[in-house]
Copies of this chain bind each other. A is one copy, B any other.
């Protein structure tokens, strides 16, 4: 099998080269390469052979200079801007949540020949870079995973007229698409489960209350408990890390040593709660039932495995990508959104 000589050679072959070899014009080669109709099958074959012979690969820059498409989308991890860059990165990447988003996004993008470019936007400078990146058309749009309610990035994107879709509804009403979960509904599922299993003295480990999802999970849970005739439910705030879940559980145990049920606003914190409960000699689920949230890898990794409220992150991420492409390719008129329903996944802990 002949190796195309040009592969390792100095200059990459261009359309021109293929055209010369095939004995046709550049335009025809372009049509064949881009699968445009209206090309004589015989010529098509000739061109394909010429392409193979010279080892031609279209130049992406030249192509997107004219199509105004880069073939990639920015996948942005956006934060509030208070933290250190490295700490933010580590926190973000350590959480299984982010991996699931990446997974779901790639699943959708890949068959469509598009690729995600990872970006961080936790400082004003970084946000400006993201905006500039999009404005210079290095990416066709942005998928934004935002961690704070007062993140200014969504509004900046809208102001710049850039295609973007968020994971989680924006804090202030902004004309931008998003995917989200019915968090309150999910929390209600957890409350119903705990009560249904006979728990009467339950407590909540919430996420950071400046994150909308965290607040909705807490509110939904408290509301459901109130409906069950339990208006007084102690709460402790964590920050979605396992360590914060441990600390919160400690506080809760001090406040209410006789508790028999815990709802944690994510699995990582639930896992932390499990550790502390065991240290204090509480058996799960016999003495205390624990329900988590997310159904992340942490849910099956812990012992006992977590009963948890499933957030279909991969599907949501895929939908987010779909909404963005619809927008980019002009299929969508205004910003569109999708809200997913949570499901209770019963395992051992609750």
Please report A residues at the B interface, Cβ cutoff 8 Å.
3, 7-8, 12, 57-65, 70-72, 75, 86, 89-90, 93-94, 96, 98-100, 102-103, 106-107, 110, 113, 115-120, 129, 132-133, 135-138, 159-161, 242, 271, 275, 278-279, 297-298, 301, 303
Q: List 22 A-B contacts (CB under 8 A).
A: A7-B160, A8-B159, A8-B161, A12-B137, A60-B70, A60-B133, A60-B137, A60-B138, A61-B61, A61-B64, A61-B65, A62-B65, A89-B107, A93-B103, A98-B99, A106-B118, A110-B120, A115-B133, A117-B118, A118-B118, A271-B301, A301-B301
Expressed in whole angstroms, the Cα–Cα distance for A138 and B64 within the complex equals 10
Q: Collect the chain B residues with CB atoms within 8 Å of residue A279's CB.
A: 303
Q: Collect the chain B residues with CB atoms within 8 Å of residue A119's CB.
A: 115
Expressed in whole angstroms, the Cα–Cα distance for A7 and B99 within the complex equals 33
Q: Collect the chain B residues with CB atoms within 8 Å of residue A58's CB.
A: 136
Task: From the candidates B93, B117, B160, name the one contacting A99 in the complex (CB within 8 A).
Answer: B93
Q: Collect the chain B residues with CB atoms within 8 Å of residue A90's CB.
A: 103
Q: Collect the chain B residues with CB atoms within 8 Å of residue A275's CB.
A: 303
Task: From the candidates B65, B99, B297, name the one contacting A65 in the complex (CB within 8 A).
Answer: B65
Q: Collect the chain B residues with CB atoms within 8 Å of residue A137's CB.
A: 12, 59-61
Q: Name the residue in A71, A106, A115, A271 with the highest tally of chain B Cβ atoms < 10 Å from its Cβ.
A: A115
Q: Collect the chain B residues with CB atoms within 8 Å of residue A64's CB.
A: 61
Q: Known: A117-B115, A136-B59, A301-B242. Is A159-B93 also a contact (CB below 8 A)?
A: no
Is B118 within 8 A of A116, CB to CB? Answer: yes
Expressed in whole angstroms, the Cα–Cα distance for A244 and B301 within the complex equals 12
Q: Collect the chain B residues with CB atoms within 8 Å of residue A72's CB.
A: 117, 138
Q: What 14 new A-B contacts, CB under 8 Å, besides A7-B160, A89-B107, A116-B117? A: A8-B161, A12-B137, A60-B61, A60-B70, A60-B138, A61-B137, A98-B99, A99-B99, A102-B118, A106-B120, A115-B118, A117-B117, A118-B118, A301-B301
Expressed in whole angstroms, the Cα–Cα distance for A120 and B318 within the complex equals 16
Q: Name the residue in A120, A137, A278 with the highest tally of chain B Cβ atoms < 10 Å from its Cβ.
A: A137
3 residue pairs, one from A and one from B, having the closest CB atoms: A93-B99, A8-B161, A61-B65
Expressed in whole angstroms, the Cα–Cα distance for A275 and B123 within the complex equals 41
Expressed in whole angstroms, the Cα–Cα distance for A121 and B223 within the complex equals 47
Is B102 within 8 A of A93, CB to CB? Answer: yes
Q: Name the residue in A8, A62, A119, A136 with the highest tally of chain B Cβ atoms < 10 Å from its Cβ.
A: A136
A104 to chain B, nearest CB (A): 9
Q: Collect the chain B residues with CB atoms within 8 Å of residue A278's CB.
A: 303
Task: From the candidates B86, B132, B160, B303, name the one contacting A107 in the complex (CB within 8 A).
Answer: B86
A113 to chain B, nearest CB (A): 8
Q: Collect the chain B residues with CB atoms within 8 Å of residue A63's CB.
A: 61
Expressed in whole angstroms, the Cα–Cα distance for A65 and B118 within the complex equals 22
Q: Collect the chain B residues with CB atoms within 8 Å of residue A7's CB.
A: 135, 159-161
Q: Collect the chain B residues with CB atoms within 8 Å of residue A60's CB.
A: 61, 70, 133, 136-138
Is B297 within 8 A of A94, CB to CB? Answer: yes
Expressed in whole angstroms, the Cα–Cα distance for A213 and B233 within the complex equals 50
Q: Collect the chain B residues with CB atoms within 8 Å of residue A96's CB.
A: 94
Is A57 within 8 A of B135, CB to CB? Answer: yes
